[in-house]
């Protein structure tokens, strides 16, 4: 439903660290415009953000998310869509 309400150019991002982004791509109605964007808490202090690419995520959508993270002053880490992404798997 959200995919029908948002502009066609909108990229959807989820902050989840436990749900697969791939599972959300079809529900979004635009699988090429879905990324994971996982902040760490407390967000205002932690500099890291994981940017997660699903198999259907377009290069443009992924690059936009990386640029957004950098514009927010975060260190972006590129991740594949695996359970727990990078940091949670290390913990």
What is the set of active-site residues? 38
The pair of structure tokens assigned to 89 is 């798997």
Cα distance between residue 82 and residue 66, in whole Å = 18
- Asked if residues 28 and 58 have their Cβ atoms less than 8 Å apart, the reply is no
For residue 74, the surrounding DSSP H or E stretch is none
């Amino acid at each position: 439903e959200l995919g029908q309400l948002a502009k066609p150019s909108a990229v959807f991002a989820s902050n989840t660290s436990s749900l697969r982004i791939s599972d959300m791509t079809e529900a979004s109605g635009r699988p090429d415009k879905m990324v994971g964007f996982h902040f760490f808490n407390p967000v205002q202090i932690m500099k890291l953000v994981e940017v997660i690419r699903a198999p259907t995520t377009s290069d443009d959508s992924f690059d936009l998310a990386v640029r957004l993270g950098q514009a927010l002053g975060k260190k972006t880490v590129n991740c594949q869509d695996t359970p727990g992404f990078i940091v949670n798997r290390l913990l």
